Amino acid sequence: MLLVIDVGNTETMLGVFDGTELAAHWRVTTVRGRTRDEYRLLLGGMLAMEGYARSKLSGVAVSSVVPPATHALRDVAGFLADGPVLVIEPGVKTGMPILIDNPREVGADRIVNAVAAAHLYGAPAVVVDFGTSTNFDVVSAEREYIGGVISTGLEVSQEALIRATAALRRVELIPPRSVIGKGTVEAIQSGLLYGHAGLVDGIMNRILAELGGDVHTLATGGLASTIVPYCGTVDTVDEFLTLHGLRLIAEMNA
């Protein structure tokens, strides 16, 4: 069994694969200052609670966009599983050429998503990852990573709105009764949800116009199921795309 860990700016997702099947998964809040001992207690306890002893786990694959967490997990991963530890970073085999100006600056999660999209859904493809930021990653017909778009995430937009105004407040991210809000809460909900959906469709249409042809469009990330119902340009939601990408890259590097 393989343990996979994806550390994002807001949330960390873990999964255990039995072959190609995702047998278990968890989400926890990312804490930048979390120590190695805290990771051992938290992650080790979660795995033990579900019956995943160290001896059952044959390896670990980690992607992280939070450097302190990367360093801590590099040390802790060996405690969690009885096998090799793979951290996604420059030099790791992904089977995908990275055709941008500086390949080293691309976040590990973005490459992992691109690899998963190409293998599981085919190419060309565009992946929208709804997290702290909303990222678009583009895979060419030749299965090359050719770039993408980074935009403000939905929750970051809400926090910015609250901080910049005196009377507005945080709202539940659910659709209002109508686009035209009948009160302040509904007006904020409409602006956030439909505004972000419009952002996704606007950027996606421009990407598709540049690519041309038949392109598969995917969404992943914690907020995908919240936004995609109001988008017109996303074909598929795969909540666990990043975890599958980690599995695929671990298999390539075994």
Please identify which of the residues 6, 18, 75, 109 carries the catalytic annotation: 109
Q: Cα–Cα–Cα angle for 231, 232, 233, nearest 5°?
A: 100
Helix (H, G, I), strand (E, B) or coil at 79: helix
* b/e 33-49 (16+ beta carbons within 10 angstroms → b): ebeeeebeebbeeebee
- The dihedral over CA atoms of 155, 200, 99, 133, expressed in degrees to the nearest 10, equals 0
Q: Quick one: DSSP state of residue 20?
A: T
Length of the chain: 254
CA–CA separation, 220 and 239 (whole Å): 5
Instruction: Note if 137 is an active site residue.
Output: no
CA–CA separation, 251 and 239 (whole Å): 21
CB atoms within 10 A of CB 141: 14
Cβ-Cβ contacts under 8 Å for 32 (sequence gap 6 or more):
66, 68, 69
Classify 120 in phi/psi space as left (phi over 0), alpha (psi -120 to 50) or beta: alpha
Nearest to 154 by CA among 138, 168, 172, 166: 172
Residues known to be catalytic: 109
